[in-house]
Structure 1
């Protein structure tokens, strides 16, 4: 548990061990040696580890660098809602933008590169971020923003199990 880390957008990491070590230095500086002897540092370390445990899946924000017709742009993976195939390009839908960003990449490459980040192929023309899936119906997926996207019959069973696994992995309660 000493290696438990929380990644922040700035790239800083917090570990229970680092906090406990800092606390130990403070206690030493202020001559609270009896507190260290009474197990205070160990108790605080355990409390910090317990607090940090739910965050163990979080990590520094990964970014995706994509090519548009005019430029290269870097986008945090967690802001990508889904990709839609549109002719010879893909449309990237982001959490904080109304209009999609047309990018020059093949859907198969996106699927391969982003599978480990929770992206799921739901249809020949759609790759979705599993964390934005609100509902899975018989013929469509409802995204958290209200978009209704088609899901192919053949992909539906795997989609359901993968979405449930993602939710479980990131601490959601499944009833």
Structure 2
């Protein structure tokens, strides 16, 4: 039986794809750790039994996030062939966003995150995606990465925002507008 623990990280270091050892506080580790957290939270949405269509899209995104995580864990130039985030991932998100937005009321004010259980969790995932994006941008300022990673995670957070609105509309839950200065 293969053990889950290797003890290789017990001194606060981890290996990237390609073998380079880095501290667990490294921006690259933080970035793909945030991707992992985002992916896990999507799993909690799937546990709420969303519609078949949403579940299918979320499962696809979970698979894409594994690609994003491995892309971030593999420095450019390392001679390991891995899948990388590419333009079709981004275009697919944009197509879905555009299709959903056609049936949603135009926003005139900010809306408060919430709604149904699934809608509220989609808003939470959106905010985690934004944090993930910030960590990927910090990494890109320090080290070369696939430029599509930033575009993908930015579009993905937009996707979660629109998905939350779409799900809440399907469940006939009215959006709560931000009142601003009360």
Q: With CA pairs under 8 Å and 6+ residues apart, which has the higher RCO, 1 or 2?
A: 2
Indicate the TM-score class for this superposition, using the shorter chain for normalisation: under 0.3
TM-score by length of 1: 0.25
Say which structure is richer in helix: 2
TM-score by length of 2: 0.24
